[in-house]
Amino acid sequence: MTTLIVGASHRSASIELLECLALDTDAATKLRARALQTPYVSEAVVLATCNRVEIHAEVDRFHGSVDDLTALLVAQADRPAEQVLPFLYVHYGEAAVAHLFSVATGLDSMVVGEGQILGQVREALRSGQDDETVGPGLNSLFQQALRVGKRAHFETGIDRAEQSLVSVALDEAVDVIGPLEGARVLIVGAGSIAGLAAGSVRRRGASQITIASRTSAHAERLAARVGGSSADLDRLVAQLAECSLVISCTGATGSVIAAEHVADAMDQRQVDQPLVIVDLALPHDVEPSAGSIPGVSLVSLKTVADSVHNGSAAADVAAIKAMVAEEVAAFTAVCDAATVAPTVVALRTMATTVVATELERLWGRLDGLTPEQQVEITHTVRRVADKLLHEPTVRVKEFAGRAPESSYAEALAELFALDPAAVEAVTRAGDKS
Q: 58-65: long-range contacts at Cβ-Cβ below 8 A with a sequence spacing of 24 or more? A: 58/1, 58/2, 58/3, 58/4, 58/135, 58/137, 58/138, 59/1, 59/2, 59/3, 59/4, 60/1, 60/2, 62/2, 62/4, 62/92, 64/39, 64/40, 65/4, 65/38, 65/39, 65/40, 65/41
Chain CA centroid to CA 425, Å = 33
Question: What pLDDT score does 405 carry?
Answer: 44
DSSP 413: H
CATH number of the domain to which 182 belongs: 3.40.50.720
Please check whether residue 255 lies inside any domain of the structure.
Answer: yes
Q: DSSP secondary structure string, 297-320?
A: EEEEHHHHHHHHHTTTHHHHHHHH
What does the pLDDT look like over 250-273, one tens digit per residue? 877 678 999 999 999 999 998 788
User: In this structure, are 171 and 146 located in the same domain?
Assistant: no
Please check whether residue 293 lies inside any domain of the structure.
Answer: yes
Domain count, the chain: 3
Please check whether residue 327 lies inside any domain of the structure.
Answer: no
Listed residues 130, 155, 180: the one ending a domain = 155
Please check whether residue 333 lies inside any domain of the structure.
Answer: no
Please check whether residue 325 lies inside any domain of the structure.
Answer: no
- Neighbouring CB atoms inside 10 A of 59's CB total 25
pTM: 0.67
- One-letter amino acid identity for 285? D
Q: Per-residue confidence at 385, pLDDT binned at 50, 70, 90? A: confident
User: In this structure, are 196 and 148 located in the same domain?
Assistant: no
Q: Between residues 281 and 137, which one has the greater pLDDT? A: 137
User: In this structure, are 141 and 176 located in the same domain?
Assistant: no
User: In this structure, are 106 and 186 located in the same domain?
Assistant: no
User: In this structure, are 183 and 282 located in the same domain?
Assistant: yes
User: Could you tell me if 394 and 321 are in contact, meaning their C-beta atoms sit under 8 angstroms apart?
Assistant: no
User: In this structure, are 140 and 176 located in the same domain?
Assistant: no
CATH number of the domain to which 49 belongs: 3.30.460.30
Domain that holds residue 150: 2-155
- Neighbouring CB atoms inside 10 A of 428's CB total 10
Please check whether residue 261 lies inside any domain of the structure.
Answer: yes
Question: What pLDDT score does 111 carry?
Answer: 73
User: In this structure, are 416 and 275 located in the same domain?
Assistant: no
Listed residues 267, 292, 309: the one ending a domain = 309
Q: Between residues 317 and 41, which one has the greater pLDDT? A: 41
What does the pLDDT look like over 205-245, one tens digit per residue? 999 999 999 889 999 999 999 999 999 888 899 999 999 99
Q: Per-residue confidence at 346, pLDDT binned at 50, 70, 90? A: confident
Please check whether residue 328 lies inside any domain of the structure.
Answer: no
User: In this structure, are 133 and 171 located in the same domain?
Assistant: no
Listed residues 103, 136, 155: the one ending a domain = 155
pLDDT, average across residues 138-151: 95
Residues annotated as part of the active site: 50
pLDDT, average across residues 270-289: 88
User: In this structure, are 146 and 174 located in the same domain?
Assistant: no
Helix 371-400 to helix 313-365 angle, to the nearest 10 degrees?
150
User: In this structure, are 188 and 300 located in the same domain?
Assistant: yes
Please check whether residue 324 lies inside any domain of the structure.
Answer: no
User: In this structure, are 259 and 225 located in the same domain?
Assistant: yes
CA distance 420 to 369: 38
149-163, 200-214, 387-401: least confidently modelled range: 387-401
User: In this structure, are 24 and 131 located in the same domain?
Assistant: yes
